[in-house]
Structures are given as C-alpha cells and as structure tokens.
Amino acid sequence: MTTDPQSFLRETFPGLFNKGIELLQSRAASGDEQAKRILEDITGVTGAAAVQIDDASPVYLSTQQGRMVSGDAPEGDMDIKLVLVAAPSSGPASSRALTDPGMWRG
C-alpha cells in the first residue's frame, strides 16, 4: 500500500471499496441479512466526490451500483455530491471548496 495521497485516491481507495462490496455480496448471497441491507444501501448510491490535496489536481471518485472508479472528472454526467479540499502541508482542511466555482459543475 502506498503513502502517496494521489496514488492512494486513484488506485488503493477504489480497490478497497470494491473489495468490500465483493465481500458484502458474498455474505448477502449466503443469507446474511445485515449484509443484504448494507449492500442495498450502498448500491443505491450514485454520485461523485472531488478530493483535492494541496495543489494537486482533484481526484474524482465516482460510485454507481456499488462500484467505485477514480478519474480526472466524474464518470459520465454524474453529480458531484461531496467536495474535500485538504492542505495538510499548510494546516487543517480548507473551506475553499465551498466557494470555488471551478469545483462545481453547473
């Protein structure tokens, strides 16, 4: 596993998310009612998150039908539902994302 934030967001995090979904699917298929409920909740989520760390370009994490992919833009015309801008090199997370029109699609 990498400690580079960009690699983690682009490769590791979506991979971990998707492996978790596979595990839930396996448990749900074997009759685990809690896994079925959780899987139903997660697979019902469609949307993207934009994550920007320091001055790097944002990484978009798009989730649909229980699968997550990363990219330089949201998957298709998916709505961005969460924006996180973090500047660990200069202190706590910034609220700049709330006022930066470049982070939101019109």
- Which residue carries 């596979």 as its tokens? 22
Q: Which residues of the chain have pLDDT under 70?
A: 1-2, 89-106
Alpha carbon distances (Å) from 17 to 48, 54, 77, 86, 95: 14, 24, 21, 21, 26
Residue 94 is predicted with a pLDDT of 47
Per-residue confidence (pLDDT) for residue 9, from 0 to 100: 93
Residue 51: which of 106, 14, 3, 9 has the closest Cα? 9
Q: Where are the beta strands (DSSP E) in 26-105?
A: 47-53, 59-64, 67-71, 80-86
Q: What is the pTM of this model?
A: 0.78
Residue 56 burial class via C-beta count within 10 angstroms: exposed 0-12, middle 13-18, buried 19 and up: exposed
